[in-house]
Amino acid sequence: MNTNDVHKDKCNQRHRKGCCSDESRPTAQQDRIYHWRVGEASVRGTSHEKKGQPCQDAHYWDTLPEGVLVVAVADGAGSAALGEVGAAVAAQTAVEAICPQIRPPGARLWDDEDWKVLLTGCIKTARIAVETEAVELNNST
């Protein structure tokens, strides 16, 4: 089993939405409830194509019960052997770190400092997750 297979196996175990498969997308009925229709597309760049590298773009999204859409996109590091894996882990982790912290409707409005603290924390969490995944994948080969 190569490192991409290990990553996809992990994805199948833990993903709800986004990243590697479309299996857990919301139904059309759920989309109507949330009033969101999410479209996604990525194209492998010409330099990646010439080098035989995969598309390293990743996205992950979730909707909160209040209908708030939370989305993250990531561009994998082209110089990294598994940049697409890092991008997928970063996007998923960012969304999963943000969702529990979003305040419900009716709570006081967030100011710039609130958002800065939230997003900085989520970026740090995503970076740690990417580093952890890299170590795990390195140990599994």
Q: What is the pLDDT of residue 126?
A: 95
71 contacts 83 by C-beta, under 8 angstroms: no
Residue range 77-117, pLDDT digits in tens: 877 778 889 999 999 999 999 998 887 666 677 889 988 99
95 contacts 72 by C-beta, under 8 angstroms: yes
Full-model pTM: 0.70
Q: Would the pLDDT of 52 be above 60?
A: yes
Owning domain of residue 66: 3-140
Q: What is the pLDDT of residue 138?
A: 82
Specify the amino acid at residue 46: T
Q: What angle do CA 95, 22, 119 make, to 5 degrees?
A: 10
User: DSSP for 98-133?
Assistant: HGGGSPPTTSPPP-HHHHHHHHHHHHHHHHHHHHHH
Q: Would the pLDDT of 4 be above 70?
A: no
Report the domain count for the chain. Answer: 1
* pLDDT averaged over every residue in the chain: 77
